[in-house]
Structure 1
Amino acid sequence: MANTKSSKKRILVNKRNNLQNRFYKSSVRTLTKKFLKDLETYKSSQSTADKEKVQIVLNSIYSLIDKGSKKNVYHKNTAARKKAKLAALLKTAI
């Protein structure tokens, strides 16, 4: 149990940060799965509508990764690695 005022505050700050980290990480994982599913659909159909759908999902993943990196949820190299991996997957599909 926390004894000092500062340790009680640290507990509250850690809870807040944990929720924020969990939001970014789970959202990125969920969108990545959606991206991979949409990418498979695009590979089989090769339609422009599917390509636009994949690009929209990829942009939203990039946005979340960048915001998470800015808030120290992700290390900058981890964020860059995740983005590069997704870009490479898209490039092989085209």
Structure 2
Amino acid sequence: MPNKKSAKKRVLVAERNRIYNRFWKTRCKNAVKKFLEAVESKDVELANKRMNDAQGVLDKAVVKGVVHRNTVARRKSSMAAKIKALSA
């Protein structure tokens, strides 16, 4: 256990941030999973809608500093490739 007041505060802040980050990371994963389910069902219209939703969630996570922007760019690129392959 921390002894100094500032160290005690850091423990509280770190726990708060951990919960916040976990919420956003889970939200991102769920959005991408829903998109992948739509791709598996070969429903182009639903996949496009879910892709837009997932991209919005991913972009918000970047703005909030939870996920790195290059990671999100990679995931969005992967989703776009899956949509393109599904459409073709």
TM range (shorter): 0.7 to 0.9
Percent identity of the aligned residues? 41
Kindly report which structure 2 residues correspond to 1:1-94, keeping only aligned pairs within 5 A, or say none.
Answer: 1-42=1-42, 50-94=43-87
Q: RMSD in angstroms over aligned alpha carbons?
A: 1.3
Q: Please identify runs of 4+ aligned residues in structure 1 that moved more than 6 A.
A: none
Which one-letter code corresponds to 1:69 in the other structure?
A: V
Letter in 2 for 1:51: V
Structure 1 residues not aligned, in runs of 5+ = 43-49
Q: Deviations over 1:10-29 (max 9, x none)?
A: 11111111111111111221
Give the alignment's TM-score, normalised by structure 2: 0.86
CA shift for structure 1 position 68: 1.0
Distance 1:21 1:78 in 2: 15
1:21-70, Cα deviation, whole Å (9 max, x unpaired): 1111112212222211111212xxxxxxx433222211121111111111
User: What 5-or-longer segments of structure 2 have no aligned partner?
Assistant: none
Structure 2 match to 1:47:
none
The count of residues paired between Structure 1 and Structure 2 equals 87
CA apart distance, 1:89: 0.9
Secondary structure at the aligned position of 2:3 is classed as coil
Distance (whole Å) between structure 1 residues aligned to residue 31 and residue 69 of structure 2:
19
Indicate the residue corresponding to 1:45 in structure 2: none
Relative to the length of structure 1, the TM-score reads 0.82
- Letter in structure 1 aligned against 2:24: Y
Partner Cα separation in structure 1 for residue 30 and residue 86 of structure 2: 20
